[in-house]
Structures are given as structure tokens and as C-alpha cells.
Amino acid sequence: MTLADNTANLLLSLPLVPLSTVMKNVDPTRLIALASVHSFSNFINKKCVHQSDGFILDVFSEHIAIEMLGERQFWKMWKADDVITELLSVYEKLTTTFSGSLDTLRIDPKYIPEFFTHPYASKLKLLPNRIRALEISAKSSDDTHQYCIDELLNEAQNLKSLTFNVQSCKITNKNAFKVDHLDIHTASWMTQADLLRVDNKTLHIRENEFNDEDINMFLRRWMSGQMNRLEMAIIETADWSRWDLDTILYGLPIKKFNREVREQRFISTKVIPKWINELGDQHFLEIADKEYGVDLQFAVDFERSDGKLASISWNPYQIVLFIWNDRFPSRFIVSEVEKEIQEKCRKIDHIVEYMKHFNVTEREKKCLEDDILLLRNKIYGKYDLIDMLI
């Protein structure tokens, strides 16, 4: 009998309530091992379902890393002889043990061909259709991966966001320009024709070769009533001297900031979903992290014929386009922040009740008191946010 069998039998001998309490604090890695025991797996699935906000699988350099999002966060990396077989095994264990889905797949393009040639290809081809975010990243790659990248994007029918960071390949699949959130790190291959294909909600284009006329065309295209899904876009350059702002804004009905027309701060959390901000270092737009919003007091505005308002902000390395679907968003944000405060207060109450009814050690008590202090500090921060917005 294995160690996992012995541990599972011991835990199953406990009454349901204390067992559920114990299970909430079990390390996810150990929980996955326990789930391999048939009797324990049945218990987890039927009576003790463990919530998760999703998983990230990272496949690179003969290694696999798994990361869990949400309150049960954990991260683990190990080397595998057969990375793709291991990937499939890990995915099946995660989705069997926890209720979350595979949110993100980060993969080196050299492994993508195996999705179509591996002995388990029929199972692997199901994976792309179950992910919300895909990151294809490598410092170098060869052109033979181009076809497989296109095929992978064809399979990812439910994809919401794509990060592309491959130097020697380009995006030719039209589906990439229709995902909600597109981040291209190495975009030197992009042309004006590629800009005409954009139909994303948020767009971040780095290391590009666009000139003033290309960006002006992009802005005028939105002004003409196209790109109706677009809510935010960043176009970056490493050589700021090559851009001329007057040329970029040529022909646009530019106006200065007016408090009667819109708020001073653009609340980017309304544009970037919470689940994307929780994907660790995979930020489609870094400004989306700013909980207090982006200050656009010195941005310029222009309005198109259907009443949609846009603001343009710039610095030596970026031109940023913001679309105001809600010109006064702080009212909504204050309501959401108040809900977060109430949820954190409930968590504090639960911790206090737990400490009252269970014999906790001094070490556990100290950890729980630290949790309460952390929650209270977060609550104070939320009240500061409300004061700033109103």
C-alpha cells in the first residue's frame, strides 16, 4: 500500500465536517496525489469539491510548470522526458481534482507540432478549444512552426486572449485579430494591411515598424465607424524620434479635456477582465493594473458621428487610444468596490468564528491573525479608492 493510500484511508476515517476543514488546507500538489486513490477521488468529486479560478500550464525547455489561480494559489515546475505526454497527464489530474478550467496555456512553438503528430494527438487537439488565453513565446524559432501555429489557432475556437512573442514567425491566422485581447511583442513583421485586419477589444503592439501615416490611418479607420469592438490600444516604439504627433493626429477633430464631457480617469478594470489581471506576468496592457484608473487630464479627445468618444494619450515610447463606452465609469466602480469590502468583512467573520470553535495552535492563531490584519488593510485601501473616485 502506497503512502497516498495510507493517507487517504486515514483522512476518510474522519467525520465529514472536520475532514472538509482539513481538505481546504491541503497543499494542491498533495491533493492531486490523493486524487489518484480511487475511493478518495470519488469523495472529492461528490462531497468535497475544491473550487479553483483556473489553471496555467507552462510548457518550455523540456519543463512543465503548473500554476493555480484564486485562493488556493500554488506553483510548481519539473522536468519531463516526454513533455507533451506529461502535459496531458497533468491536465487530466487537475480537471479531475478541481472544479476550475484550463485558463492559460503558455507554450514554446517547438512543441506545437506535437499537438498534431504525437500518439495522443486526438486528445491533445481537444486542449486548445478549452483554453481562454494562449501565450506562444520563444526567443527564437524557425519558419517550419508557422503552419502549426496557424493550425493551433484554428483549433482554439473559444480563445479570448493571445500573447505572441516569437521573433522569426508572424501571425497569418485571421482568428488572432478577432480575439478579445491581443498582445504582440515582436511586431516588426506587421504592415498597414495587418492593422486593417484588427477587430480586437484590446490591442498591444510592441517592436513595430509603423510610421506616422500608418497610425493616422488606424485612428481614422476607427473614426469612420469601423473597429467597433475596440476599447483600448497601445502602439509602442523603441525609437520615439521617428514619430510626429501632428501627422498622427492629422484630420481628426481634436478637442481638449472637458469635465462635462467625460471623467478625468479612465477605469481600465472595466475593459480588462479580472481573470486576465490574475494571469501573473501575462498582462495585455500594463496600465490595466492601475486600480485608480489612468489619468487622462492632458489627453486629447475626438468624437465620431455615432457619439463614441476616444482619447489619445502619449509619451516618448507609446501612443495609447482609449474608447469611452462609459464616460463616467466611477459610479459603477464604487458599487463594485463596496461589494469587495462586504466580501472581505465576511471572510474576517469566518476566521473569527473558526478560531472560537476550534482548538488552534499558537502558530495557527498567529497566521489567522495575520490574515485578518491583511484583510483589514485591504478594506482600508478600498475606502481610500472610493474617496478618490467620488
Residues 191 and 193: their CA atoms lie apart, in Å, by 5
Q: What tens digit of pLDDT does each residue of 31-49 get?
A: 666 666 655 555 555 455 5
Q: Which residues contact 246 (CB under 8 A, 6 or more apart)?
A: none
Domain boundaries, the chain: 1-50, 53-179, 199-328, 333-389
**What average pLDDT does the segment 112-132 reach?**
80
Kindly tell me if the per-residue pLDDT of 299 is higher than 90: yes
Name, of 13-27, 310-324, 347-361, the range with top average pLDDT: 310-324
Q: Which residues contact 243 (CB under 8 A, 6 or more apart)?
A: 211, 212, 215, 237, 319
Kindly tell me if the per-residue pLDDT of 370 is higher than 90: no
Residues 279 and 68: their CA atoms lie apart, in Å, by 10
Instruction: Please report which confidence band the pLDDT of residue 352 belongs to, taking 50, 70 and 90 as the band edges.
Output: confident
**What pLDDT is attached to residue 251?**
94
